[in-house]
Structures are given as structure tokens and as C-alpha cells.
Amino acid sequence: MKRNRDNADNEEIEDGPYVTEVVVPPNLFKHALRRGYETYKEVGFYLIGLFKSGICYIHDLIEFDYSEQSGGFIESGMARYIRLKAGLPLGLRIVGHIHKHPGFTSYSATDKRNFLQYGYANPLNAFLIYMVDPYEEVRGYTATAHEIFPLKVTIRDFSPEEELLEKEIKMEFTTKVLLPNNTKVSDFRLLFSENIGSESLKFLSRPTVLVDGQQGDKSSKITKDSKIEIAPRKAIEIKDIANNTSLQYRIFMEEQETIADLETALKQLINFPREKGYEIIFSEAGRKLPRDTKLNVIKQPLVWSLEKSVLFPILKNFYRFWKGVIEILRKKQTKEKPKTLEDFELEVSNQLSSKSPEKTGSQSIFKNFSTFLYDLFHAIKEQEEIKSQKVASIQNEYDSPTKNSKKKKKNLKGFKLDYYT
């Protein structure tokens, strides 16, 4: 089995740890040592960092707010953890922790339980255990849900390529909310707080990333001078999808997608007619939108309707025509004995022995092709005459005062979901 590392390179590794090394700057490690020398009790810190290509880079240490602390046990309170997790800038996270042991650097039974719990929640983690007496030493560990692995610990400064880049990203989107009349502000605040996270994800999950104004691909690099912009997904509002015509449902699409892509998405919401030959027509403010229209130009809710495809009858007749041609050729082959290779060789030999072989050969080719066309259209003509005779025999049934009356065109726009089930 192979695992995917959660990093920019998306590398694959065999069974084993997701993290192979942890890099800690000397100034941070010295801070942990200094705090360890200041007390006989255990001390612990949250490791703030990130992962790239299987390496964990530690960018800061935040000491626990101890709910319990002794010479052989520490426990952190939750208040600091929650505040810290909420306050970290995008890109950094709590990757694990470092704590002091009294005279040894192997993990205890309590450490083992905590490491495996971390590994179950997220296998991208790093843990450090250090001691200051009788000598300074540090060991690293990383865990999956079922196993703990040793981790290489490197105390060094980051290279220029490993330093953090700080980028400001402006994101903007407009959403709507439906509320009962006379809703209390307190109720709205609760509704907003509970749902704004999932609502934001609808716009910002898998967004279009622009690097220096150009849409970036997987191989694009973000440098110190790069300008990053995020283009949220576009919410296309569509009227008259369900039975309540006053509601407008949304379909979230990429701005560079087209009306043809929107049609595919809408078919997943409605019960499309089983009969072939229908297509969805979208209109904005009474203007019919071509299928190649980019969605980024849409400003108002869309109205959709079902119409018979113009191309479908043409393609259907074209298919019938070629089906008839194939049938004619098949019947002709069954009546005539096909020529063998010896027959063709004899025919070519006769043509070459004539006075003007090139001319006679060309004439023979055109003659055979003309014969083929004559046979083909003659057979088609015969079929049309038979069809005309059948039509003429029942023509009198349609000779009535309402002969020239137009049939009412069925309006498919009013069809709702239950009509197609």
C-alpha cells in the first residue's frame, strides 16, 4: 500500500511514517532548554509549524497553560489550545508538542497513548522529548493511528528556500440568507455562526488561484514577488427548478466554465425527460444564452426551459440515410458474386493490353463509380415511390376542414420535477 504525503509535491511513500525529519531553529531549542533548567518539573510546548515533502519545519514554541504540572507529569489546559488554534495564520498549525523528561528521552505509556491519538486524528505530526540532566539530549517521534516511529531531529537555521513568505489574500463573495419574517437578531446571529463556515466553503473550496493575474496550475511556483488572488466559485442562481417557483436554487461553478457545463450540472438536479432530442435553454433577462457563454459574464438569475433540439432531427435523418445506404450495399453484395483477386488482375491485364491503357483504365473507374451511384439512387428512388404510394393511400383520411389548422406547440417550460419521474 502507498500513502500520499500532504504536501505540495504530492509524493508517494511506502508503508511507514508520513514524516521523516523535523527541523528546529537553534534559538527555539535553546528556549526549551532554558525553561527546562529553570524548574525540576516537566515543561511542555506546542510545536507550531508546517510540513513540506515529508519534513516538519518548526517556526515557534508556545508553552502550555498547565492544568497539572509535576516532576513526572504535565497536562495542558484547553483554553490556550483553543485560542492558539483559532489565532494561527493560514499555513501554520499545531503539529505536535515538545516536553521535558527527567533523565530519559524515550516515551512513556502516557506519551504513547497521546501520540497514537494524534496519529489517528492526523498522521502528519511531530513530537519531541528532551532532557537537560545529566546531559542535554532530544529525540523525535511521529505516529500513525497504530504505530510510533522514530523521527530524525535537526537543530539548524532555515535556508532561504525554507523561510516563510507572507502574502495578503483578498477574498470577496456575496451570499443570501432566507429567514422567517420578524426573526430576532439573536436567532439570526446563531444561524449565521453555525452556517457561515459551510457557506464559505461552497465559494472557496477548490477555488481558482491567480498568480500575478494568471491562472496557476499545479506546477506554478509562488515566489517572494508573486501576487496571489483567489477567485471564488460563482453561485449561479436559477429560477423555477422545483415546485416552489419563488425559490432560486444555486449551482456553484467555476467562472471560466460555460453554459454547456451548467446544463450538465442542472441535469443532476432535475428529472430530465427520458425521450431523446431535448436540450436545456438558459435565458438571462429575456436574452437566450448560447452554449459557449462564459459564466463569469452572468449577473442576474437565469431562467431555464426545455426545447426540442434543432440538430437532433437532422442527425436522426442522417443516421437513417446512412443506415439505408448500408442496407442497399448489403443487399447488392448478396445478389452479385464478389470479384476475386484473380478477376481484378485479369481486368487490369486486359486494360494494359489495349491501345490506350491509361484512358481505358480511367474510363473503367468512372464507369464503375457511375454505375454505383446509379444503382444507389435508383434503389432510393424505388423506396421513395413505395413510400409515396402508401402515403397517397391514406391521404384522404387527413382531408378535412381542419386540414390546415396548426397543432398547438406543447409548452415544456412549465414541467416540474414530478412530471418526469
What are the residue ranges spanned by the domains of the chain?
A: 3-162, 168-232, 234-307, 312-391
Please say whether the beta carbons of 101 and 129 come within 8 A. Answer: yes
How far, in Å, CA of 24 to CA of 48, rounded?
11
> What would the grid cell of residue 356 be?
490506350
What would the pLDDT profile of 44-76 be if each residue is shown by its tens digit? 999 999 999 999 999 999 999 998 899 888 988
Res. 214 pLDDT band, cuts 50 70 90: confident
Res. 408 pLDDT band, cuts 50 70 90: very low
Q: What mean pLDDT value characterizes the chain?
A: 79
How far, in Å, CA of 48 to CA of 30, rounded?
16
pLDDT of residue 375 exceeding 90, the answer is no
pLDDT of residue 401 exceeding 90, the answer is no
How far, in Å, CA of 149 to CA of 258, rounded?
49
| CATH class label, 168-232 | alpha beta
Percentage of the chain lying above the pLDDT 70 cut:
69
Burial class (CB in 10 A: 0-12, 13-18, 19+), 293: middle
How far, in Å, CA of 45 to CA of 78, rounded?
13
Please say whether the beta carbons of 151 and 126 come within 8 A. Answer: yes
Please say whether the beta carbons of 368 and 343 come within 8 A. Answer: no
Two domains, one topology: 168-232 and 234-307:
yes
Mean pLDDT of 314-333: 66
pLDDT of residue 32 exceeding 80, the answer is yes
Residue 49 backbone phi and psi in degrees, to 5: -170, -160
Give the closest residue to 64 by CA, choosing from 37, 100, 113, 111: 100
Percentage of the chain lying above the pLDDT 90 cut:
40
| CATH class label, 234-307 | alpha beta
| Lowest-confidence region among 114-123, 212-221, 285-294, 349-358 | 349-358
Question: What per-residue confidence (pLDDT) applies to 230?
Answer: 87
Res. 43 pLDDT band, cuts 50 70 90: very high
> What would the grid cell of residue 298 be?
452572468
User: Hey, is 332 helix, strand or coil?
Assistant: helix
What would the pLDDT profile of 178-197 be if each residue is shown by its tens digit? 899 999 999 999 999 999 88
Peptide bond connecting 134 to the previous residue in cis, omega within 30 degrees of 0:
yes
| CATH class label, 3-162 | alpha beta
pTM: 0.61
What would the pLDDT profile of 106-164 be if each residue is shown by its tens digit? 999 999 999 999 999 999 999 999 999 999 999 999 999 999 999 999 999 999 999 99
- Contacts of 159-164 spanning 24+ positions with Cβ under 8 A: 162/23, 162/57, 164/59, 164/91
